[in-house]
Amino acid sequence: MNNNNQQRLQVVANHRANIQRILQHRLEVARAKGDQTLSS
């Protein structure tokens, strides 16, 4: 049970990190294109 909980926490952490990475990339692309609506 404890191992299962640790795996679940790791999956959640990975998912959150992936979302943050994707959003950061989208923000950088928008800034590079000069789109200020996402960066304000």
Domain boundaries, the chain: 1-33
Share of the chain above pLDDT 90, in %: 68
pLDDT given for residue 2 in this prediction: 86
pTM over 0.85: no
Which is higher by pLDDT, 18 or 36? 18
| Res 6 pLDDT > 80 | yes
| Tokens matching residue 25 | 């990339």
Q: 10 and 2 in contact (C-beta within 8 Å)?
A: no
pLDDT given for residue 40 in this prediction: 58
How open is the CA angle 31-12-29, to the nearest 5 degrees? 10
Q: Which of helix, strand or coil describes residue 4? A: helix
